[in-house]
Amino acid sequence: MGISQYIKEIGRGKDGARALTRAQAADLMGQVLDGAVSDLELGGFCLAMRIKGETPEEMAGFLDATHARLRRVPGNSRPIVVLPSYNGARKLPLLTPLLALLLARRGAAVLVHGTATEDRRVTAEAVFAALGVAPAAPAQAIAPGACAFVPTEALLPGLKRLLDVRRSVGLRNPGHSLVKLMNPVHGPALIVGSHTHPEYAVSMAATFALTGAHALLLRGTEGEPVADARRQPRIEALRDGQRIERIAAQDGPLAQLPELPAIDPAATAAYTRAVLDGQAPLPAPIARQADCILAEIHADERTTA
């Protein structure tokens, strides 16, 4: 069928564009993910949505199409913690692997998924490689107490293609929001969503509500799903359409700032090992975030028991 009819609706400019229904958005994204659209159509879709912006209903439709096609990771009886890692490190060290391995040590099953979306940023895959953690396949189960990193292309090649459009046009597209909202687990999961600007928190919370997700939401470090080691961000829980504050934001930086490593993978990996081995202190905001995640999992277990 093609997606030209949808581009006509969403491509009329910021004021003239019309929002798609959830079903239309699912059909559009399904064709994109299946590789049924040309590069020209794909670029037109990405630029039109960048100008218009996605509604929560459209994003829910995009997620419907994505979830129907994902090669999902097998679920457990206990919720798996999902950490989407796509922004990478630009100015601060990437501590998403530290959070993931800390949670695993405390008994959680943790899935980190991601890919490089900009060439100049340090990725979770690079830090995990420096730690000796190789990428895993989606078919591999994640036991409690284990952490796995699964590249986006292993979950859904068409989604990687969508994300890579940024390398050609230099702008984010719906795929960059979608990956922070999706559930790649075939079973219960706690999605740790992160945003860079307050308006994204509103739209992400609305989308989580529409899709019935169980999630935590915070302003992460440079868009990564890990708390800024220098200050405590607000952390909210989203479940059954409710949005509840779990940790209040701290005004200003910590009284004593932690000593952080350089942003390169080797230095970040060495710091991660030192923290996990007790040779360096765990930054307080990340400790509180880990406690919050584990408490949310345990609450989910009590609810479903």
Sorted by sequence, the CB contacts under 8 Å of residue 168 that are 6+ apart come out as 43
Contact by Cβ (8 Å): 130, 94: no
Nearest to 23 by CA among 42, 6, 44, 2: 6
Q: Which amino acid is at 85?
A: S
Nearest to 216 by CA among 248, 198, 185, 243: 243
Alpha-carbon distance of 233 to 221, in angstroms, equals 9
pLDDT for 114: 96
pLDDT for 177: 94
pLDDT for 302: 56
Beta-bridge mates of residue 148: 111
The alpha-helical segments, DSSP class H, found in the chain are: 4-10, 13-16, 22-33, 39-52, 56-69, 96-105, 124-130, 152-155, 157-169, 174-178, 198-211, 265-276, 284-304
* 305 residues of the chain, pLDDT tens digit each: 689 999 999 998 777 889 999 999 999 999 999 999 999 999 999 999 999 999 999 999 999 999 999 999 999 989 999 999 999 999 999 999 999 999 999 999 999 999 988 878 999 999 999 999 999 999 999 999 999 999 999 999 999 999 999 888 888 899 999 999 999 999 999 999 999 888 889 999 999 999 999 999 999 999 999 999 999 999 999 998 889 999 999 887 776 678 999 999 999 999 999 999 999 999 999 999 999 999 999 886 655 54
Sorted by sequence, the CB contacts under 8 Å of residue 32 that are 6+ apart come out as 3, 42, 45, 158, 162
pLDDT for 289: 98
Contact by Cβ (8 Å): 61, 26: yes
